[in-house]
C-alpha cells in the first residue's frame, strides 16, 4: 500500500514490511518515509490548514460524516485489516471499527458546537463601556503519533477533532500497524477533507519522529504510546502544545459485598482484551480477604478458558502480542516473579508471539509485573484487609489512568472515587471501559491533557477574545 502525502498517494523505493504477528506472514508493504517526506508533509499542511479553516463548519461536518459512513460501509475490510496487521481477533477488530465510526460521527457532531461566550467586561470598574466575547479558532498543524494496539480508532480520536475544527494533520502511525490508518485516511479524503490537510506517513520512529515533533510549524503534538517514547517527544517538541497518553498499571478493587461472579467475568475481560495490550487493561486486582479465596479460584478457572489461536477464527478469544520480542519480555517478567515467590494460577506459557492468559498471586512488591506497565495478558491478584489498604496500594505506582471498584456500597464507591489518584474511576465494571465521548487521560506518568472528542477539540483550538470599546451609551 502507498502512503498519503498531502492528500496524494505516493510510493518510495525503500519499504517496510507489515507482518501478521501470529504467524509472521506478510500482509503488505508500505513506503519507508524519510525526513524529507516529513518536511514536505508539514509544508503542505501549513497550506492545508488555510484550506480547511476557510471551509464553513457545515462543510467540515459533512466531510466527517461521509467518512464515517464510508468506514461503516467497508467495516469488514477494515476489521480484517486490523486483525491481520495487529494483535486483535476478528471479533475484537469489528468492535474497534464500530467505535471508529462512532468517533468520527461524534467529531462531526461536536464540530457544530465549537462555541464561545460573551464576556462581562463591565464587572471591572472603568470597563462599563466595553462589551465582547470570545470564540475558538484552530491552532494549525497537528502531528498525530499513534500506537499499534488500536490502529484505527486511536487515529480517529486524533484526526477527527483536529480536522473538524479546521486544523491540518500529519499522522505517523505505528510502524507495525500502518494499514488501518491509511484506510482511514482514504475514507477521509473520499469524504471531502481538503487534500493538503492530511498526510499519513509510514516510517520508522527513529527516522521521522524527531523531525516531525521538533518542526516549529507544528503547533501541537498528540501522542499515544509508551512512557519513554513520550519523554523523548517532550524533549524534542519545543514550544508547542503536547497531548500525551502514556499508559498505565490499572488497579481493580473488589470489595466483599460485590457481585462476585460479575467482578470475575468483567475483570477477566478487562485483563485480556487485545491480548492485554490495552492502556487501561486490568493489571492489579485487590480483593478483600473474606472473598479472596473464592475470587482467586473463579478467576483462575475463567482465565484458563481464554482461547488463543488464529485471529480470523470466530472462536478465538485472544491473539498474539504485537511481536515475539514483546512476548519474550512478558514471559521473562512472569518467570522472574515466580522465581521471587509468586504463585502461577493460570497460563504462563508462550509460543512465538502468543502468550497464554496468565494469572499470578503472591507477587512480591517491586516485581516488574507489579509496578511497571505489563501491556500484555498478565494480571496479579492480591488480598487486602479493607478499602483503605486497597486505595493505598492502588496509588503506589507512577501511573494513574483508570481504576475500578466493585461494590454495592455507594459510600465505599465514593471514597474510592475521591481518593484514587487517576483520571477515571469505573464502578462495577472493568478498568478498560471507555466511552469515546468522555474525557480520557491520566495523572502522574500516565500523560498530559485529555482526549475524548469535545475535550480534544478544546486542546486543538484556542480562544480569541474580542472586545468593543463602545464610544457612547444610551
Domain map (residue ranges) of the chain: 3-246+446-465, 250-427
Which residue in 215, 86, 88 sits closest to 143, CA to CA? Answer: 215
- Contact criterion met (CB below 8 Å) for 159 and 171: yes
Q: Could you give the 3-state DSSP secondary structure of residue 303?
A: helix
Residue 302 has what pLDDT?
Answer: 98
Q: Could you give the 3-state DSSP secondary structure of residue 9?
A: strand
Q: Full-prediction pTM beyond 0.75?
A: yes
Q: Which of 92, 110, 245, 296 is catalytic?
A: 245
Q: How far is CA 355 from the centre of its chain?
A: 22
250-427, what's its fold? Aldehyde Dehydrogenase; Chain A, domain 2 (3.40.309)
Residue 471 has what pLDDT?
Answer: 84
**What is the grid cell recorded at 225?**
504510546
Residue 90 has what pLDDT?
Answer: 98
> Grid cell 477533532 — which residue?
161
Q: How far is CA 364 from the centre of its chain?
A: 30
Q: Could you give the 3-state DSSP secondary structure of residue 287?
A: strand
Please confirm, yes or no, whether 279 is among the known catalytic residues. Answer: yes
**Greatest Cα pair distance in the chain:** 83
- Angstrom distance (rounded) from CA 313 to CA 50: 46
Q: What is the pLDDT along the chain (474 residues), one digit of tens a residue?
A: 999 999 999 999 999 999 999 999 999 999 999 999 999 999 999 999 999 999 999 999 999 999 999 999 999 999 999 999 999 999 999 999 999 999 999 999 999 999 999 999 999 999 999 999 999 999 999 999 999 999 999 999 999 999 999 999 999 999 999 999 999 999 999 999 999 999 999 999 999 999 999 999 999 999 999 999 999 999 999 999 999 999 999 999 999 999 999 999 999 999 999 999 999 999 999 999 999 999 999 999 999 999 999 999 999 999 999 999 999 999 999 999 999 999 999 999 999 999 999 999 999 999 999 999 999 999 999 999 999 999 999 999 999 999 999 999 999 999 999 999 999 999 999 999 999 999 999 999 999 999 999 999 999 999 999 999 998 755
Q: Which of 96, 258, 279, 451 is catalytic?
A: 279
| Cα-based distances in Å from 406 to 201, 269, 303, 402 | 43, 14, 19, 14
Q: May I ask the CATH architecture of the domain 3-246+446-465?
A: 3-Layer(aba) Sandwich (3.40)
Same fold, 3-246+446-465 and 250-427: no
Residue 163 has what pLDDT?
Answer: 98
| Cα-based distances in Å from 255 to 99, 286, 310, 336 | 31, 8, 37, 29
Residues 6 or more apart from 442 whose CB is under 8 A from it? 245, 246, 248, 399, 400, 401, 402, 422, 423, 424
Amino acid at each position: 500500500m502507498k502512503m498519503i502525502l498531502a492528500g496524494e498517494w505516493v510510493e518510495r523505493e525503500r519499504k517496510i514490511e507489515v507482518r501478521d504477528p501470529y504467524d509472521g506472514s506478510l500482509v503488505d508493504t508500505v513506503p519507508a518515509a524519510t525526513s524529507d517526506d516529513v518536511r514536505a508533509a508539514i509544508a503542505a499542511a501549513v497550506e492545508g490548514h488555510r484550506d480547511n479553516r476557510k471551509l464553513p463548519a457545515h462543510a467540515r461536518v459533512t466531510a466527517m460524516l461521509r467518512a464515517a459512513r464510508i468506514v461503516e460501509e467497508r467495516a469488514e475490510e477494515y476489521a480484517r485489516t486490523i486483525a491481520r496487521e495487529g494483535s486483535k481477533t476478528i471479533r475484537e477488530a469489528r468492535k474497534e471499527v464500530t467505535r471508529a465510526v462512532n468517533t468520527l460521527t461524534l467529531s462531526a457532531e461536536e464540530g457544530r458546537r465549537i462555541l464561545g461566550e460573551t464576556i462581562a467586561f463591565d464587572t471591572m470598574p472603568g470597563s462599563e463601556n466595553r462589551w465582547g466575547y470570545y470564540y475558538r479558532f484552530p491552532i494549525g498543524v497537528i502531528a498525530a503519533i499513534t500506537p499499534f494496539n488500536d490502529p484505527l480508532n486511536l487515529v480517529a480520536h486524533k484526526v477527527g477533532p483536529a480536522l473538524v475544527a479546521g486544523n491540518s494533520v500529519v499522522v505517523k502511525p505505528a510502524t507495525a500497524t500502518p494499514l488501518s490508518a491509511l484506510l482511514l485516511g482514504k475514507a477521509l479524503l473520499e469524504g471531502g477533507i481538503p487534500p493538503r490537510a492530511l498526510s499519513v506517513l509510514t516510517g520508522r520512529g527513529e527516522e521521522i519522529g524527531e523531525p516531525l515533533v521538533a518542526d516549529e510549524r507544528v503547533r501541537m503534538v498528540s501522542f499515544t504510546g509508551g512512557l519513554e517514547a513520550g519523554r523523548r517527544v517532550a524533549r524534542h517538541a519545543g514550544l508547542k502544545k503536547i497531548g500525551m497518553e502514556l499508559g498505565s498499571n490499572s488497579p481493580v478493587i473488589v470489595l466483599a459485598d460485590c457481585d462476585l461472579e460479575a467482578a470475575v467475568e468483567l475483570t477477566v475481560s478487562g485483563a485480556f482484551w487485545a491480548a492485554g495490550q490495552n492502556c487501561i487493561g486490568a493489571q492489579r486486582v485487590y480483593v478483600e480477604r473474606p472473598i479472596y479465596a473464592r475470587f482467586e479460584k473463579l478467576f483462575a478457572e475463567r482465565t484458563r478458558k481464554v482461547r488463543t489461536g488464529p485471529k480470523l477464527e470466530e472462536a478465538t478469544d485472544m491473539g498474539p502480542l504485537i511481536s515475539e520480542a514483546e512476548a519474550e519480555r512478558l514471559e521473562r517478567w512472569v518467570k522472574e516473579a515466580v522465581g521471587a515467590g509468586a504463585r502461577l494460577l493460570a497460563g504462563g506459557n508462550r509460543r512465538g508471539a502468543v502468550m497464554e492468559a496468565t494469572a499470578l498471586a503472591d507477587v512480591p512488591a517491586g516485581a516488574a509485573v507489579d509496578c511497571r506497565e505489563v501491556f500484555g495478558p498478565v494480571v496479579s491478584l492480591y488480598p487486602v484487609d479493607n478499602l483503605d489498604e486497597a486505595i493505598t496500594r492502588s496509588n503506589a505506582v507512577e501511573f494513574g489512568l483508570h481504576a475500578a471498584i466493585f461494590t454495592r456500597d455507594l459510600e465505599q464507591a465514593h471514597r474510592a472515587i475521591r481518593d484514587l489518584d487517576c483520571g477515571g474511576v469505573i464502578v462495577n465494571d472493568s478498568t478498560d471501559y471507555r466511552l469515546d465521548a468522555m474525557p480520557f487521560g491520566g495523572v502522574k506518568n500516565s500523560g498530559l491533557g485529555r482526549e475524548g472528542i469535545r475535550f480534544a477539540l478544546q486542546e486543538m483550538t484556542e480562544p480569541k477574545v474580542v472586545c468593543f470599546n463602545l464610544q457612547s451609551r444610551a
